Amino acid sequence: MNELVQTSKNGEIGILTVNNPPVNALSPGVPDGIVAGLAQFENDPTVKAIILIGGGRTFIAGADIKEFGKITSGENRRGPGFLSVLDRMESYPKPIVAAIHGTALGGGLETAMACHYRVAVASAQVGQPEVKLGIIPGAAGTQRLPRLAGVAKAVEMCAAGDPIGAAEAFKVGIVDQIIEGDLLQGAIAFATSKIGTPPRRTRDLSNKLGNEQSNTPIFAAARDAARKKARNLMAPLAAIDAVEAATKLPYDEGVKREQELFLECLYSDQSKAMIHVFFGEREVAKIPGIGKDTQQIPVNKAAVVGAGTMGGGIAMVFANAGIPVLLKETDQAALDRGLATIKKNYANSVKKGRFTQESMDQRLGRITPTLTYDGFGEVDMVIEAVFEGMALKKQIFGELDKVMRQGAILASNTSTLNIDEIASATKRPEWVIGTHFFSPANVMRLLEIVRGKASSKEVIATLMSLSKKLAKVGVLVGNCRGFVGNRMFGPYRREAQFLVEEGATVEAVDKALYDYGMAMGPLATGDLAGLDVGWRIRKEFKDAENTSVRQPKVEDRLCEMGRYGQKTGAGWYKYDENRRPMHDPEVDKLIDQIRKETGRTPREIGDQEIVDRIIYSLVNEGARILEEGFALRAVDIDIIYINGYGYPAYRGGPMWYADTVGLKKVYERIQEFEKAHGALWTPAPLLRQLAESGKKFADFDKQVAATA
Ligand code: 3H9
């Protein structure tokens, strides 16, 4: 044993307690500590059974994910270590009981399954979430889990990665007893009942492994589902292969097969990217200059102004998190419409089995509709979510300044407008902040938190931690036009249009980006969001347009034809009543016409050029945003794109992807584009500087962390 694993005794029971906060990961030292503790108890004749338990808030939450990067970079060698530790546990002569609270995930569940028995408190969760990191279980999880839970459950858990609760784990056979009351006391009673019985080894169980006839359809259905739901991802398919090996090979050979598949995944670009995303989602919460000791404002009651699509969605977000919320509109009809949409959305979730009718009623019960500001004086935070117009927003903030109590947060859901100007309508700009939710607000995980020049540290710190409570990933951004996400989305969609004007088909552009991994192609995305939104903004800002650079033409013309996208049944595509997109020769005609007007001879454009032009436009704008300080780190941009714009997590986000390609290569390609297409492609100075010094965006981030 060592300081990470402590031993103690309770009568005839030896207790091993893992103490590696915050989540008891299997960091170097923990496996050794377990082995040493087992050796001590093996030699102690007074100890007749063992309990393995986690100290603090959880059982073991898995391997130490930080170690994976060290292994693949060659900094650390991966020893055969952990598998043999688990074998040692399984072949141990005295019964070992895992006592689970919190989460037993990944290597944590694998450790528990190598014990002879498992007991858990009712709130515990168990799972094999490795696929979410682009890997598969690597310590025999794919071999032991089907022996305990059956093939179908094991495939589901290993290929999808979602944890299950203790009750279900008990039902399927992973857990042997649910402990009511104190876990350790319950585990001691359970372990005592096993004294003198021969240890039950998971590897020796075979009655749940099924046969070829019963298993074939399970694997076929799982592979189909993985190809659809986890498009282009290698880990879910590898996980299914590994579980299949458990059903076809003797245990030791199955473990070997799992190891091969595990290592293939671990060394892949996909897993490196997904591990970057795992840590990135936690890194974005860390704001230089705003420490953990910054005081926060408790948000126990909230209000939303505007019951349209965004306002209604935001009210649902608060209600879902258990926070009562007032929802204000100016007239009854609009309020009724907003509430009807909320009810419809909730009812759909109940129909899909996401939660019960009772839970729907509770959520609805937390939303109080209103036509006045009555009660606003008692809430801790308000979010304005009305139509995007500066005059209206300023009027509302002036009103809020009068009705809200001092010390309450005033937030705007603006997606484009200047938060400082909005704040200037109040006498308390330090309490004003932007909270840019993405549509549908109750579904999309991203929340851009827009820092105004006066926003206080307390307000920022509150929003960063509130976003987690609201089940969002909050990313702090600066106050520039479009903030981070939409500012980058401009060039992204502009290049998609340019490519069409130059000769690519609408379908080719969308397919290249879809195949790259985006949830949707950029032109289809425009149709979904509504082409008229950008059109109206462009008309409003016509005077500010830079006439010396090329402007895309097609979307404005589509809008002039009344083709706003899916909502009008036609945009880049035409749509049937089920909103299925179809090629439209009318659009071909329009594009031909525009090519003639602009004197462009269409040329063949390959998929690689399409992807490079569109993705590198994100990278170049992202680099500008970074050097201008509107995003704190490159990883913040990655997290924004993955959670708000359908960017594939397995590519790590646009900035990580550029690092993977190599910034020198990206920079040279952008220089080629500049030669061919002009000033819109001037490389961002930061990109040039990093590329010329052989550095990455990740190095930029390291420097930020070092100076924080
Ligand atoms: C695996 O096990 C492979 C195996 O098959 C074995 C192969 C040999 N490692 O999320 P939180 C950090 S793969 C290192 O904010 P929560 C996290 O970065 C692994 N660090 O807390 C954060 O640090 P910081 C399979 C980890 O309460 C801090 O802990 N397991 C790890 O909201 C708090 O984390 C998983 O995939 C780790 N394993 O949620 C589980 N886990 O404060 C991954 C966390 O510096 N973990 N950290 O930012 C989780 O899902 C959540 O962290 C958990 C707690 C649910 C446990």
Contact, 57 vs 102, CB < 8 A? yes
pLDDT at 533: 81
Contact, 36 vs 1, CB < 8 A? yes
Q: Is 25 in the pocket of ligand 1 (CB under 6 A)?
A: yes
End-to-end CA distance of the chain: 36
DSSP H helices in 139-181: 141-149, 151-160, 166-172
Q: How far apart are CA 633 and CA 283, in angstroms?
A: 9
Q: Is 68 in the pocket of ligand 1 (CB under 6 A)?
A: no
Q: Is 137 in the pocket of ligand 1 (CB under 6 A)?
A: yes
Residue nearest (by alpha carbon) to ligand 1 atom 5: 137
Average pLDDT over residues 353-376: 97
Q: Is 104 in the pocket of ligand 1 (CB under 6 A)?
A: no
Residue nearest (by alpha carbon) to ligand 1 atom 11: 282
Tell me: pLDDT of 1 over 70.
no
Tokens at 217, concatenated:
């359809």
61 Cα: distance to centroid of ligand 1 (angstroms): 6
Residue 201 is given by DSSP the state P
Q: How far apart are CA 312 and CA 293, in angstroms?
A: 33
224-228, 458-462, 703-707 — which is least confidently predicted? 703-707
Tokens at 514, concatenated:
């879809």
Q: What is the position in ligand 1's atom list of the atom closest to the CA of 133?
A: 36
Q: Which amino acid is at 140?
A: A
Dihedral of CA 285/289/290/292: which sign?
Answer: positive
103 Cα: distance to centroid of ligand 1 (angstroms): 10
Q: What angle do CA 136, 137, 138 make, to 5 degrees?
A: 105
Kindly state the percentage of the chain with pLDDT values over 90: 92
Residue 120: strand, helix, or coil: strand
pLDDT in tens, 573-591: 999 988 899 999 999 999 9
pLDDT in tens, 27-52: 999 999 999 999 999 999 999 999 99
Q: What is the position in ligand 1's atom list of the atom closest to the CA of 137?
A: 5
Tokens at 356, concatenated:
């019960």
> 495: closest CA among 612, 646, 341?
612
> 440: closest CA among 348, 510, 529?
529
Residue nearest (by alpha carbon) to ligand 1 atom 18: 279
Residue 422: strand, helix, or coil: helix
471 Cα: distance to centroid of ligand 1 (angstroms): 17
Residue 246 Cα distances to 129, 162, 209, 253, angstroms? 19, 20, 8, 8
Helix (H) / strand (E) containing 215:
helix 212-229
* Other C-beta atoms lying within 10 Å of the C-beta of residue 79: 11
Tell me: pLDDT of 80 over 70.
no
pLDDT at 367: 98
pLDDT at 165: 98
Tokens at 145, concatenated:
């889990």
Residue nearest (by alpha carbon) to ligand 1 atom 16: 23
Tell me: pLDDT of 343 over 80.
yes
Burial of 701 (0-12, 13-18, 19+ CB in 10 A): buried
Question: Given the structure tokens 């050796």, which residue do they identify?
Answer: 39
Say what angle helices 107-114 and 81-90 make with each other, to 10 degrees: 30
Residue nearest (by alpha carbon) to ligand 1 atom 51: 61
Question: Given the structure tokens 């990455």, which residue do they identify?
Answer: 696
Tell me: pLDDT of 542 over 80.
no
Q: Is 502 in the pocket of ligand 1 (CB under 6 A)?
A: no
Tell me: pLDDT of 71 over 90.
no
> 198: closest CA among 60, 35, 49?
49
pLDDT band at 79 (very low <50, low <70, confident <90, very high): low
DSSP H helices in 53-102: 65-72, 81-90
Q: What is the position in ligand 1's atom list of the atom closest to the CA of 108?
A: 2
Q: How far apart are CA 202 and CA 554, in angstroms?
A: 63
25 Cα: distance to centroid of ligand 1 (angstroms): 7
> 430: closest CA among 389, 459, 462?
459
Q: Is 129 in the pocket of ligand 1 (CB under 6 A)?
A: yes
Tokens at 287, concatenated:
């704001």
Contact, 285 vs 461, CB < 8 A? no
Q: Is 80 in the pocket of ligand 1 (CB under 6 A)?
A: no
23 Cα: distance to centroid of ligand 1 (angstroms): 6
Tell me: pLDDT of 409 over 90.
yes
Q: How far apart are CA 314 and CA 327, in angstroms?
A: 10
Beta-bridge partners for 127: 105
pLDDT band at 81 (very low <50, low <70, confident <90, very high): confident
649 Cα: distance to centroid of ligand 1 (angstroms): 17
Residue nearest (by alpha carbon) to ligand 1 atom 6: 107
Q: Is 105 in the pocket of ligand 1 (CB under 6 A)?
A: yes
Contact, 178 vs 166, CB < 8 A? yes
Residue 152 Cα distances to 135, 214, 489, 617, angstroms? 20, 10, 41, 44
Tokens at 348, concatenated:
């759909």
Q: Is 139 in the pocket of ligand 1 (CB under 6 A)?
A: yes
Burial of 498 (0-12, 13-18, 19+ CB in 10 A): buried
Contact, 110 vs 144, CB < 8 A? yes
Contact, 249 vs 625, CB < 8 A? no
Q: How far apart are CA 506 and CA 524, in angstroms?
A: 9
Question: Given the structure tokens 């009712």, which residue do they identify?
Answer: 122
Using CA atoms of 700, 281, 73, 131 in order, give the dihedral in degrees to the nearest 10: -150
pLDDT band at 549 (very low <50, low <70, confident <90, very high): confident
pLDDT at 389: 87
Helix (H) / strand (E) containing 261:
helix 251-266
684 Cα: distance to centroid of ligand 1 (angstroms): 35
Q: Is 130 in the pocket of ligand 1 (CB under 6 A)?
A: yes
> 38: closest CA among 110, 94, 122?
94
> 505: closest CA among 593, 598, 618, 592?
592
Tell me: pLDDT of 545 over 80.
no
Residue 474: strand, helix, or coil: strand
Q: How far apart are CA 637 and CA 284, in angstroms?
A: 9
pLDDT in tens, 498-522: 999 999 999 999 999 999 999 999 9
Contact, 510 vs 610, CB < 8 A? no
Q: Which of 18, 20, 23, 282 to mutate to test the pocket of ligand 1 (most atoms within 8 A of CB)?
A: 23
Q: Is 434 in the pocket of ligand 1 (CB under 6 A)?
A: no
71-80, 136-145, 270-279 — which is least confidently predicted? 71-80
> 552: closest CA among 581, 523, 530, 529?
523
Residue nearest (by alpha carbon) to ligand 1 atom 46: 61
26 Cα: distance to centroid of ligand 1 (angstroms): 10
Q: How far apart are CA 690 and CA 670, in angstroms?
A: 14
* Other C-beta atoms lying within 10 Å of the C-beta of residue 694: 10
Residue positions annotated with a catalytic role: 110, 130
Q: How far apart are CA 191 and CA 160, in angstroms?
A: 33
Sheet holding 473-477: strands in order across? 367-370, 325-328, 302-305, 381-384, 409-412, 432-437, 446-450, 473-477
Q: How far apart are CA 239 and CA 526, in angstroms?
A: 36
pLDDT at 78: 60
703 Cα: distance to centroid of ligand 1 (angstroms): 24
Average pLDDT score over the chain: 95
> 655: closest CA among 436, 488, 468, 523?
488
Alpha-carbon radius of gyration of the chain? 28
Average pLDDT over residues 383-392: 92
Q: Which of 65, 262, 279 to mutate to test the pocket of ligand 1 (most atoms within 8 A of CB)?
A: 65
pLDDT at 342: 97
- Size of the chain in residues: 708
